[in-house]
Amino acid sequence: MLAVVQRVSQARVEVDLGQGREVVGRIDAGLLVLVCAEHGDTTAQVHKLVDKMLKLRIFGDEAGKMNLSVQDIGGGLLIVSQFTLAADCSAGNRPSFTAAAGPELGRTLYEAVVDRARTLHPVVATGIFGADMQVHLVNDGPVTIPLTLR
């Protein structure tokens, strides 16, 4: 599983549902998490990913040090599928996405990430798997952490 975790002061996802763009997920302070499943990923990686992102100490404490997790601050999670995280640009200028899981496995694992997050955390919003989404965010810091869990 691949993920990019961004500390945000706010974030939202918009999708065109046929009558113009609509906001389908929104959070205030918290984490925007872009998620990509790769071939061979399992629910074991899903559990590790969700546990790691909930415990990442990347929010400031009273002294301004990054010592608090999203759970500590009561922040939100906005989880968005993004297969392009698996891009391989080593052979030319057009990325290859062959490492990304196919749509069926990708959807299953993305939904498992969302389900586990909702089981463990009270504020979870999402995009729509496979949709053409517009992601708006205010990256706080900026703080951006790539996670690779195998």
CATH classification of the domain holding 114: 3.50.80.10
Query: 19 versus 143: which is more confidently predicted?
Result: 143
The confidence score (pLDDT) of residue 18 equals 86
The predicted pLDDT at position 9 comes to 98
The pTM of this model reads 0.96
Bridge partners, 135 (sequence order): 13
- pLDDT recorded at residue 149: 83
Q: Residues of 46-68 as b/e, b for ≥16 C-beta within 10 angstroms?
A: bbebbeebbebebbbeeeeeeeb
CB 8 within 8 A of CB 146: no
**Distance spanning both ends of the chain, measured CA to CA:** 6
Mean pLDDT within 78-85: 97
pLDDT bucket at 23, cuts 50 / 70 / 90: very high
Residue 94 has pLDDT above 90, yes or no: yes
- The yes-or-no answer on residue 59 being catalytic is no
Catalytic, 84? Answer yes
Phi, psi (deg, nearest 5) at residue 39 = -55, 135
pLDDT at 150: 76
Q: Return the beta strands (E) in 17-132 as ranges.
A: 21-27, 30-36, 59-60, 66-68, 76-81, 124-126
Per-residue model confidence (pLDDT) at position 6: 98
- By residue range, what is the domain housing residue 76? 2-148
pLDDT attached to residue 11: 98
Catalytic residue, from 6, 45, 59, 83: name it: 83
Task: Provide the number of structural domains found in the chain.
Answer: 1
Mean pLDDT of all residues belonging to the chain: 96
**Section 44-53 average pLDDT:** 97
The one catalytic residue in 84, 98, 134, 148 is 84
* Rounded-to-integer distance, Cα 112 and Cα 123, Å: 16
Q: Based on the residue annotation, tell me whether 83 is a catalytic residue of this protein.
A: yes
In this predicted model, what pLDDT tens digit does every residue of 114-150 receive, in sequence order?
A: 999 999 999 999 999 999 999 999 999 999 999 998 7
Does residue 34 carry a pLDDT above 80? yes
H or E segment to which residue 50 belongs: helix 43-55
| Per-residue pLDDT at 100 exceeds 80 | yes
Which of 6, 45, 82, 126 is an active site residue?
82
